Structure 1
């Protein structure tokens, strides 16, 4: 199944035989350190910039109903974001992934994103639509 929106992601995660944890790393677009004038102009038009991780959370698919619910929950943190990257971690048998496994995977996701490695993750905008970066 091609995942092109948040609802597709939830549907696919719920279909998996093993318990799933969805891992979310919320990022905010910012100007890079020491931007050129061209980079600054592009950023002011809403283009370019670097995506900086600002918030992480994990959820079971059953804890989520739709993108509006995720948006509402994220607003309660007071942290602004532009793009959310999503990964998944499967449990084994009927066991959900442990808190330690989830935390370690979230840390790996953040490090990957800081290094610019975004290909392994689904990127969604605030409307829950998949976006292509690069």
Structure 2
């Protein structure tokens, strides 16, 4: 069971093939026409929509520390509330390249926009897994 970013990094090291990690950082937002009930729930940390604001792919060794990933995200100027992570497996001992990650990343962003998030690991700003839904 993966309950933190550290667990994820450890798990990638035990995979038979090298991995590439896909990250989609999202901001929680309310639509302009949100009802008073929706606004109240949002203030309590419930509801809203997740809008992708940053996408990046990295080899696990390029992102071994969650704090470094958070610091890099700050450099973009984009605020975020949750990051979704997925892993891609390589073949024949070769990790997927950044170019090979582009189509899966695009599909991941679109899935998140549509609310289909069950295939991804959601993490908070501290690198802890969160339950959404």
Whether TM exceeds 0.5 here: the answer is yes
Q: Secondary structure at the match of 1:126?
A: coil
1:7 aligns with 2:15: no
Distance in 2 separating the partners of 1:33 and 1:104: 31
CA RMSD of the aligned region, Å?
A: 1.2
Determine the structure 1 residue equivalent to 2:132.
Answer: 133
Q: Secondary structure at the match of 1:62?
A: helix
TM-score with structure 2 setting the length: 0.94
Distance in 2 separating the partners of 1:96 and 1:66: 19
TM-score with structure 1 setting the length: 0.93
Q: Secondary structure at the match of 1:102?
A: helix
1:76 aligns with 2:97: no
Distance in 1 separating the partners of 2:89 and 2:78: 28
Deviation string 1:84-125 (CA, Å, 9 cap, x unpaired) is 000011110122213332000000101100110010100000
- Where in structure 1 do 4 or more consecutive aligned residues deviate above 3 Å? none
Q: Aligned residues, how many?
A: 133
Distance in 1 separating the partners of 2:83 and 2:96: 21
Query: 5+ unaligned residues in a row in structure 1: which ranges?
Result: none
Query: 5+ unaligned residues in a row in structure 2: which ranges?
Result: none
